[in-house]
Amino acid sequence: MPGTGAAGIPRWPKREQQTIVSSENPATDGTDGNETGDGGPSGSVWDVVVVGAGPAGASAAYAAASAGRRVLLLEKAELPRYKTCGGGIIGPSRDSLPPGFVLPFKDRINAVTFSLNGRYTRTRRSKKMLFGLINRPEFDAQLVEHAQKAGAELRTGVTVTSVEQHGSAVPDRRTVAVGLQGGETILARAVVGADGSASRIGAHVGVEMDQVDLGLEAEIPVPQSVAEDWQGRVLIDWGPIPGSYGWVFPKGDTLTVGVISAKGEGAATKRYLEDFIARLGLAGFDPSISSGHLTRCRADDSPLSRGRVLVCGDAAGLLEPWTREGISFALRSGRLAGEWAVRVAEAHDAVDARRQALNYAFAVKAGLGVEMAVGKSMLAVFERKPGLLHAVLTSVRPAWNAFARITRGSSSLGELVRTHPMAGRALSRLDR
């Protein structure tokens, strides 16, 4: 089981003793070797079924498979597939990756240019790398490969249509029935929902959201001369809509340019992106991909489980409310979900299963929940006083140093407030 760093960041051990069960050898998997369409032995029940093969799902599958359990990972798309995402890998994301994972960085960032709706531009630099940038298709596929190497089985092109914990499809109280499009049913001792912000598993659990934002993004190929201007540097622009901001993330010969703001401001958000691209002098380049995506942030009292079903990542509404950063939350909550799904699968009755599910919820809230609470306060201040935050980040060295520590993973928003009472009091006053 991974340990925890000084900043409350989960860290995988450098070496793990793993037992990898091969379904190709009946002598090693304890079955009669007869297989059905669900990829498992005839009449068998999977220990853990994970729905969704993004960072959260792949992390959950890796964690459960590393514990020696039989794990099935379901993904509706064919891999690799594009996801609307800036692709920033900050310290907590890096520290939550499986051992041996080599990050496929497209650029390493040591400078950030901040602007306030195109004005008051200032660049801050660091001698050390702040964070790295990746393309999600490559990153996600590599995470899935690690889960498979740990023993998880992958099925793609599979759409989950239902989850049942009671009824004719469920043979006993220790089993969950996962229904697939086409009529197939898969049985499991525990299920992890990691199927994105429009999660079917989240709906089954009863996840409730209190913040929904619209992100728009364009992948813009640029000439080498333009790409060189951006190498090692990102732009963050505090936008004209309350709570909005834009970004430019360089990835070799392509710039990922995007904006995000509250849902319900669709026309204004689209106009912000168009103006942002024009202001940057990039309007003459044709995007290779233009996309949009809704991010959802959970309500404080929203459930994280129901019976033997757990949710993590976007499916649980776990992300940082201010920046809407979700990769580190997906990786960390996915790992926790995989670990606790193993315990749920081992539970022999509903009471024990419920106890393990509550332990999972406590672990999420004690770590990620604290960061989300601070992020929510930061968003409230940012919505009202973007100029103040811009001035602090660009002019107050301790604020910039804190930003650098958070992105590198040596600190977190939660730890910052805990260890610097003055910062916590200032944030509380501004929030009020």
pLDDT averages per 10-residue partition of the chain, 432 residues: 39 36 32 36 80 98 98 96 94 96 97 98 96 97 98 98 94 95 97 96 97 98 97 98 98 98 96 98 97 96 97 98 97 98 96 97 96 93 94 94 93 75 59 60
How confident is the model at residue 423, as a pLDDT? 60
Integer Cα distance of 383 and 243 in angstroms: 4
Inter-residue contact 142 to 97 (CB < 8 Å): no
The residue to which tokens 């004719």 are assigned: 168
Spell out the long-range contacts of 384-393 with Cβ–Cβ below 8 A and sequence spacing 24 or more.
Answer: 384/242, 385/430, 386/116, 386/238, 386/242, 387/116, 387/238, 388/430, 389/238, 390/114, 390/115, 390/116, 390/120, 390/238, 393/114, 393/124
Helix (H, G, I), strand (E, B) or coil at 64: helix
Integer Cα distance of 401 and 408 in angstroms: 11
How confident is the model at residue 422, as a pLDDT? 58
Q: Detail the DSSP E strand segments found in 141-265.
A: 153-156, 160-164, 176-180, 185-193, 209-221, 233-238, 245-251, 254-262
Asked if the bond preceding 80 is cis, omega within 30° of 0, the reply is yes
DSSP state of 321: T
How confident is the model at residue 424, as a pLDDT? 58
Integer Cα distance of 417 and 151 in angstroms: 40
Contacts of 4 (CB under 8 A, 6+ apart): 10, 11
Integer Cα distance of 37 and 183 in angstroms: 11
The residue to which tokens 């080599």 are assigned: 102
Integer Cα distance of 307 and 309 in angstroms: 6
The closest alpha carbon to 40, from 53, 67, 21, belongs to 21
Strands 46-51 and 185-193: parallel
Q: How many residues does the chain have?
A: 432
Integer Cα distance of 35 and 27 in angstroms: 14
Residue-by-residue DSSP string for 252-286: TTEEEEEEEEETT-HHHHHHHHHHHHHHTT-TTSP
Integer Cα distance of 246 and 259 in angstroms: 4
Helix (H, G, I), strand (E, B) or coil at 147: helix
Integer Cα distance of 38 and 25 in angstroms: 17
Helix or strand run (H / E) with residue 125: strand 119-125
How crowded is residue 28: how many other Cβ atoms within 10 Å of its Cβ?
Answer: 12
The pTM of this model reads 0.88
